Amino acid sequence: MAKLVLIRHGQSEWNLSNQFTGWVDVDLSEEGVKQAINAGKLIKKAGIEFDYAFTSVLTRAIKTLHYALEYSDQLWIPEEKTWRLNERHYGALQGHNKAKAAEKYGEDQVHIWRRSYDVLPPFLDASDEGSAVHDRRYANLDPHIVPGGENLKVTLERVMPYWEDKIAPLLLDGKNVVIAAHGNSLRALSKYIENISDEDIMNLEMATGEPVVYDFDDKLNVTNKTKLD
């Protein structure tokens, strides 16, 4: 039986300041570091041993993975970073305070942008200095692939090829895998794994720094889901 552990990164500096983050690369807050360390301690307490680790190319997720592995005595395991596990791109909302955005656009509209499955946010133009096309970590991507904004549906569509090619084969081989990523990339994965409806996914929360464990049988069916606490 293979295990998959999902960890949403610890609180970031922009989580703390209530800003839309998306693909902007911000660090963990002091509280976020504590949450990531605690995630590692919970994994060690549960006795879960990993074979492979995956994370995004964003600092807050990478550091969360490293703290979790360090404090579960598994910092040595193979690790891979990919843009496909990045947070959803919040488009032109990135960097804006969420409360002020609600004042400008209305609370209902902002809630729809944040939580709906298939409604896109206002796009960030590629010519904007904040566009990811100017970030060297995406230099090897076709510029047309770099998003100007995403909803959860689009996020799932770009996560799935990586799941199918990299992660699922390991689980089918009986390997234990940990993914440290972001609220929405992990919500997208959870939607697929649990076959959650487009409507119900709006209610799924991924708590920062709290590992979620899926057990799979040899057909990649979920046999159990638990949260470590």
What is the token pair recorded at 121? 């946010």
From the centroid of its chain, how far is CA 229?
20
| Alpha-carbon gap, residue 121 to 112, rounded angstroms | 9
The crossing angle, in degrees rounded to 10, of helices 98-105 and 107-115 is: 120
Rounded to the nearest 10 degrees, how much is the dihedral formed by the CA atoms of 186, 192, 194, 200?
80
From the centroid of its chain, how far is CA 134?
22
| Alpha-carbon gap, residue 212 to 189, rounded angstroms | 12
Catalytic residues: 9, 87
| Alpha-carbon gap, residue 118 to 45, rounded angstroms | 38
Show Cβ contacts of residue 200 under 8 Å, excluding neighbours closer than 6 positions: none
What is the token pair recorded at 133? 């096309």
How many Cβ atoms are within 10 Å of 161's Cβ, its own excluded?
10
CB of 40 closer than 8 Å to CB of 67: yes
